[in-house]
A = this chain, B = another copy of it.
Amino acid sequence: MWVPVATGRRGLTVAIAAAAAGLALAMAALRWRRRPVREVLFFPSQPSCTEALLAEAAGPGAPVQPCPCPLPRSDCSLSRLLRRLLSARRSLDICLFAFSCPQLGLAVRLLHRRGVRVRVVTDAQYMALRGSQIGLLRLAGIQVRHDQGHGYMHHKFAIVDRRMLITGSLNWTTQAIQTNRENVLVVEDAEYVKLYLDEFERIWEEYSPTNNSSLSQEQ
């Protein structure tokens, strides 16, 4: 057994210095880990033009025509939400009560076109209303499933690349984005993401047309 006192004064000093270095290294290693995304978006979103953002996402690298609309190009909650979604490279799983916002609908279709595996679960009653984006998503070939009408499918969350959770009170509607008080929490946290992914998979299976013949056929 080695104890510092047996090494003399010099050994003790070295031991203390080495211990301090060990501690400093451990703390630095923890600090150097890439900080996961943690963000909260509050709505209503400031009015802002998102055309350039969507055009850039549609054809990365291509020159973007300036939009003639009078809205400012500043960052806003909607543009930040769009950026989080457009960061998807492999998958986007969406579980959403109401979806009628054209910009968010376009972003989801762009991701699908880019080869991202998009799955959408929604509420049967709301998807039939005028202005819903669900028809356009299906037309584009995106898989959509919906509930059977026992209560509402009232979730409002999305999971990007099975690593980032986007959840809150916000339905993806223009009214909610422009007028309501809403919140969206963005968190890159494996523990939370897994719980929401499990819920998504449960619902996805439950709403499968092969499990229930009364559900309309998905695309």
Contacts of A196 in B (CB 8 A): 40, 183
A145-160 near B? 1/0 per residue, CB < 8 Å: 0010011111111000
Q: Which residue of B lies closest to A181 (CB)?
A: B153
Contacts of A11 in B (CB 8 A): 7-8, 10-11, 14-15
B17 A20 Cβ-Cβ under 8 A: no
Contacts of A38 in B (CB 8 A): 191-192
A178 to chain B, nearest CB (A): 8
- For chain A, residues 164 to 201, give those with C-beta under 8 angstroms from any C-beta of chain B: 167-170, 175-176, 178-183, 185, 191-192, 195-196, 199
User: Which of A23-31, A100-108, A111-119, A128-136 lies at the interface with chain B?
Assistant: A23-31
Cα-based distance from A191 to B82 in the complex (angstroms): 23
Cα-based distance from A8 to B14 in the complex (angstroms): 11
A151 B168 Cβ-Cβ under 8 A: no
A26 B17 Cβ-Cβ under 8 A: no
Cα-based distance from A30 to B29 in the complex (angstroms): 13
Contacts of A195 in B (CB 8 A): 40
Cα-based distance from A169 to B167 in the complex (angstroms): 8
11 contacts between A and B (CB under 8 A): A7-B10, A11-B11, A11-B15, A19-B19, A20-B22, A22-B26, A38-B191, A154-B180, A156-B169, A167-B168, A168-B169
Residues of A within 8 A of B (CB): 2, 4, 6-8, 10-11, 13-23, 25-27, 30, 38, 40, 42, 44, 95, 97, 147, 150-157, 167-170, 175-176, 178-183, 185, 191-192, 195-196, 199, 203
